[in-house]
Amino acid sequence: MSRLAGKHAIITGAGRGIGKAIAQKFLQEGAEVAICDLVQGRLEQAATDLEKHGDVHAFAGDVADQRFCDALVTQTLDRFGQLDILVNNAGIGYFKPFLTHSETEWDETMAVNLKSMFLLGQRAARVMKEQGEGGVILNMASTNGHAGEQQLAAYNASKAGVILLTKTMAAELGPYGIRVNCVSPGFILTELAREAGADEAYIAAYTEKIPLKRYGTPEDVANLYAFLASEEASFISGVSVIIDGGQLAEG
């Protein structure tokens, strides 16, 4: 399929995991893609892997830094001449008991997971408004933005913030033809989950709680992003689409 032919997208945090899978899917759907990541080596490897699927440009930097957000949008426009889709995917999480969660960890989580989406979303939306052809902004939330999970206070709060930021952006940007939605994945097995301690016993116990009895893959989530970015979703705006194998369906 080439549902994104002629479209130009920015995808943040695409050095690995879900962001990289979204970049691959978008390239396969015909888009030109700018990817960014904080980790230079990871980004370079991703760009090399993705090049066989299409035209990809890589920019290293921190999405919580306003100057990098400005530069990312400017450089993407220099390369593509147009910006149609922004995917705010980059995110981090600290597993810490509430009683010992530090202020530094709170601030960093909010900056990367929430402030970056405001900064890049605002800059991308200004460009899209100026272009006059509408656009699509997709923010990465989480089931943790819908229901809290222990030891993730800052992460949960940041993802709940993403959901309301998304709704506000959708309401204000709709008149310019800009659709804004967020995606709320449940348990997706990525390097992040492995680093957070998801060993085989944890995975088995967790998937037992999921009605579909499996964890999600980055490709499951990328397929949803491609649909939401495409014209097939042209009347969908201001929602959080949960992709969790049915986990939140049970109390």
Ligand X SMILES: NC(=O)c1ccc[n+]([C@@H]2O[C@H](COP(=O)([O-])OP(=O)(O)OC[C@H]3O[C@@H](n4cnc5c(N)ncnc54)[C@H](O)[C@@H]3O)[C@@H](O)[C@H]2O)c1
Task: By CB under 6 A, name the binding residues for ligand X.
Answer: 12-13, 15-19, 36-39, 42, 62-64, 89-93, 112, 140, 142, 185, 187-188, 190-193
Catalytic residue among 94, 155, 176, 206: 155
Q: Which is nearer to ligand X, 23 or 173 (CB)?
A: 23
Q: Closest approach of Cβ 133 to ligand X, in Å?
A: 27
CB of 242 to ligand X, least distance (A): 10
Cβ closer to ligand X: 27 or 38? 38
Q: Kindly report the backbone phi and psi dihedral angles of residue 49, in degrees, each rounded to the nearest multiple of 5, phi listed first.
A: -65, -35
CB atoms within 10 A of CB 142: 28
d(CA 135, CA 70): 18
152/173 with CB nearer ligand X:
152
Closest to 223 in 3D by CA, of 214, 236, 232, 235: 232
* Burial annotation 198-237 (CB, 10 A radius, 16+ → b, else e): beeeebeebbeebeeeebbebebbbebbbebbbeebeeeb
- For residue 81 the two structure tokens come to 């001449």
Q: Is 155 marked active-site? A: yes
Looking at the Cβ atoms of 135 and 218, the one nearer to ligand X is 218
Active site residues: 155
